[in-house]
Structure 1
Amino acid sequence: MVGSVHVAIFTDFHPHTLGGVQTAMRSLCDGLRRLGHRVTVFCAPAPGYTTSEADTVILRALPISMSNGLPVVLPTRANERLIDAAFAERGPIDIVHTLTTYGCGISGARAARRHGIPVVQTMQSRDDTVIEKYSPAPYLSALTMRLAHGWFVPLRGRQAHDGDGRIARLAWRPLVAQAQAADRVTVPTHHFARRLARHGVDRPIHVVSNGIDDELLDRVRAESAVTDPGAPLRALWCGRLSVEKRPLEAIEVARLVEDCTLDIYGSGALADRARSAVAEANLGDRVHLHGEVDQADCLRAMRTHDVLLLTSDCDTQGMVLLEAMAMGLPVLYCDPELSETVPHEGGIRTADPSVESFAAVLNSLTQDRTRLHDMRRALAAHTDEPRQSRHTTGILAVYTEALAAPVSPQ
């Protein structure tokens, strides 16, 4: 196992913004630092967050935002100079770990090559599915991403198409090129590892799950949790209020299931539409929007609810799924690929992603809650699996392998 290392983590999401990638990154950084390793994060700025932190380097963003409202960073010469200066001032850097495939992720891979440092790339974004299903202009979005990424990262080898249509082919090209530009690739699930391989990625791929900070888990579990067994079924939805996460569909599910309440934790572009949907359906007494909360509050809520509604159909693993597992909260979900992460009999997969399918299962649970008790018993054996300490060693093993091998050529 590698000794103490200095890791430069590159991500297009600031650690203080909302999202599963950010939550997983914070847990990873804390886990590495707890073991004596040094971590410097290179990232985009956070809207409205001005506090500077010693271990964070903010890259320069364009005066435009992504569809999720977060800043856009490009691998410009100005950012290259900023990164190189930080490497010189804070170095030596032993390994670069890129968590995204956009501007900051590209900048990290290019910086690693300039400095002769091995680069590990984490792949966990299903951009092909998100673009095809939820972009207002799928072909234009996929083409723009493909051209912009290809300008900075040439494709090493050949991309396989795995039966994809033209939009999916364009969307997969940046993912494959970014993975091929790395020395090692990590993914959180086996199903995504297989998808990458089928699309032509021949770099060594390691499956290492995301995790939740151990100290946070222990602290929340030690707190008392009050529940009311006579209350209506308590459903919970957590995440970013964006179209691909389908929060509006969760509200519609609650409208169709009268004997339940729904608490929604999160913020995002659909916040106003979510408030309007609750008001227009006269659901204010049963559906409550709590806004953005920290991870601890999300975990606390999971201890007092009966079931998690996971309406997204384009997650690779889903941090909220790991959080529910850690809290022993049964999951109602629709995406077949998430079955790898949901423990056997610890959740229910709907027949399809439709609101009607979710409502049918939720209605059945309001009438027979013994199924929820059975799912909690099934989850009890798996609540410690999401601990970050279980997965930090896996990441360190990947670092060790990358450091021991020759660095890939530019």
Structure 2
Amino acid sequence: MAFEPTPRLPTPRLSKRAVSALREFLRQEAAGGYVLMAAAALALIIANSPWANAYNAVLHFEIGGTIAGLALRESLAHWINDGLMAVFFLLVGLEIKREVLDGQLSKPSHLLLPGVAALGGVAVPALIYSAVNLGTPEHLRGWAIPAATDIAFALGVLSLLGSRVPASLKIFLAAIAILDDLVAILIIAIFYTDQLNGLALVLAGGFTVALIALNRFKVTLLWLYLLLGLALWLCVLKSGIHATLAGVVLAMTIPLRPSRGRPDDPHSPLHQLEHALHKPVAFGIIPLFGLANAGVSFAGMTLATVMAPIPLGVALGLFFGKQAGIFLAAMAVIRLGLADLPLDATVRQLYGVAVLCGIGFTMSLFIGNLAFADPHLLDQVKIGVLGGSVLSAAVGYWLLAGAKSADSPTRSAPMA
């Protein structure tokens, strides 16, 4: 594809600390992606082995008791999806807040290209899934399943290519995935909420106000935020709103800077908590989620099973919808002269990254669990997610492995 360069736009660079923090973020996410791949593969092996019944029995084993008068007895799978994943969403919220206030997404010039691309990458997969499932209205509840990118999985594949992929494209992919997560959070809050418990919502609102007050009064005691956050999570758990959203609310109130500090002070409560959570989430919580949710039996699977509306809609949405939405939206912005290609990148490399964004593993499985309670439908979701994600990973890797970087840096301008 021929490409006529657009005039270079004046784009300010990130501070050295912001660049350093971003590189560390990319490195840990990529390493976590490898562990997630191994966990997903292990789940598939176990689910198709003589240990499958034991695997399912462990996931359905009930744990819990009564805390402060609240009955908290649920299956192990439920605690992973509603409890541990709240910590994952807390980390996602911290990353979003940091990037918006003090990072890659802090300036409109940084936000435009990945922002428009992310919106295209959410809308087109949802439309494809909905089109495939129009004949079965009860399946339309899963329209958001192919809408999000798994940043750890995608960066893990991208890192296998090493220096053959410009660093600017890794930043571009991370920005899209972060914005995807933000949209996914809003979708979960608006469209995947059960019947509401008024008292629990009032109590949750009270704890939220208390957290905001701590922030406004420049309180930097991290343990106090976490204590109120735990109380908030318990209330949200019983409110009808998905409990993981408590992690996002807590993240938005954690101070990015201490009252005496600077905007880029690495010792602010937000940076401290983000740093403390990265490894436990990347190497513990997310792989455990993958192990608990990726297991699907292939016994008796036929072509008709794979071509059923749910798996077909999810797989097509992830593979075709993601790449089309992201690439076409990004190219439209570039052709209009509103943004430039990421530094040292070619159109083929941009397209390859758009294809990789079709890896929707973690968030897609998570939304699938919210959309459908029927185990049979959940298995169909898993088939679609695995198929679309693996295909996106393979084709994206092939496109990027065979691509050459831009001949001259004058053909593109930096993203940051």
Please give the range of the TM-score, normalised by the shorter of the 2 chains.
under 0.3
Greater RCO structure (CA 8 Å; 6+ sep): 2
Q: Which has the higher helix share?
A: 2
Q: Which has the higher strand share?
A: 1
TM-score, scaled to structure 1: 0.24
